Structure 1
């Protein structure tokens, strides 16, 4: 029997580890036990919008609906005249910004892991929604960025 894992094991999950330590009998406790005890279904459903976002198709470009403003798009196209570069800029998401209320209380490792999981899901949904187009989903975590960043843009044939 071989395990096939969609994402790497989660590390540095302090809240989960703290929750787990409160129980005398920890055998059998796993992330699904934590979800059952600590997470509300509505939160999970709402968060799925991050993993499976809504898109807008504008001209030759594909954009995250939540990030798109026609004025910004028009200005960037006039400046760059490159829809791929405009996609890269407009589709840019700083993972810290998704969690304003707790960014200081979470390990950078957790944010970076989450960024990679979001990238994985975006690759799948872009392939599903735009089967005739090819996209590059980019994750970065450089010193010049404000934490982990994810974006996507189309690539040539």
Structure 2
């Protein structure tokens, strides 16, 4: 029998088969392919939206849609995986951040082809780790 090369696609599928439930996979798909809603011309991740947060952001940013979107769509990957107690190297979170940025870009282009968005990935200076967000251009 051939050994599975660590890091190969087959190795990753074997990891999923051994360690992930379909529920975990479906939940992760919600991060990669999020539902996006439009509220007063702002494009927002549905899972973060509440009316009170939106009204607060609108007031805090003087109705600046770009700032509202950037703020409300901020996704801190350390927070997303906060429940995991293992030791994970930063490069893993950085790779996830880059994949999420690419995925969100594809989702936004497919759902809103008439719009232009800036999907951003950065490592937060205040030690909140990798962050992904988006806003209209």
- Under TM normalisation by the shorter chain, which class is it? 0.7 to 0.9
Find the aligned partners of 2:4 and 2:79 in 1 and give their Cα distance.
36
For normalisation by structure 2, the TM-score amounts to 0.86
Match of residue 76 from structure 1:
57
CA RMSD of aligned residues (A): 1.9
After superposition, the C-alpha distances for 1:94-138 in whole angstroms (9 at most, x for unaligned) are: 001111122661111101110110111000001111111111111
The count of corresponding residues between Structure 1 and Structure 2 is: 132
The answer to whether the 8 A contact 1:96-1:103 is kept is no
Match of residue 89 from structure 1:
71
Find the aligned partners of 1:145 and 1:100 in 2 and give their Cα distance.
14
Structure 1 ranges of 4+ moved more than 3 A: none
Stretches of structure 2 that go unaligned for 5 or more consecutive residues are none
For normalisation by structure 1, the TM-score amounts to 0.76
Stretches of structure 1 that go unaligned for 5 or more consecutive residues are 1-23
Deviates more, 1:79-88 or 1:119-128: 79-88
In structure 2, do the counterparts of structure 1 residues 133 and 146 end up closer, same or farther at CA, with 3 Å as the change threshold? same
2:3 aligned to 17, 26, 41, which one? 26
- Which one has the bigger strand percentage? 2
1:24-63 aligned at under 5 Å gives the runs 26-27=3-4, 30-63=11-44
By how many angstroms is 1:35 displaced?
A: 2.2
By how many angstroms is 1:27 displaced?
A: 4.1
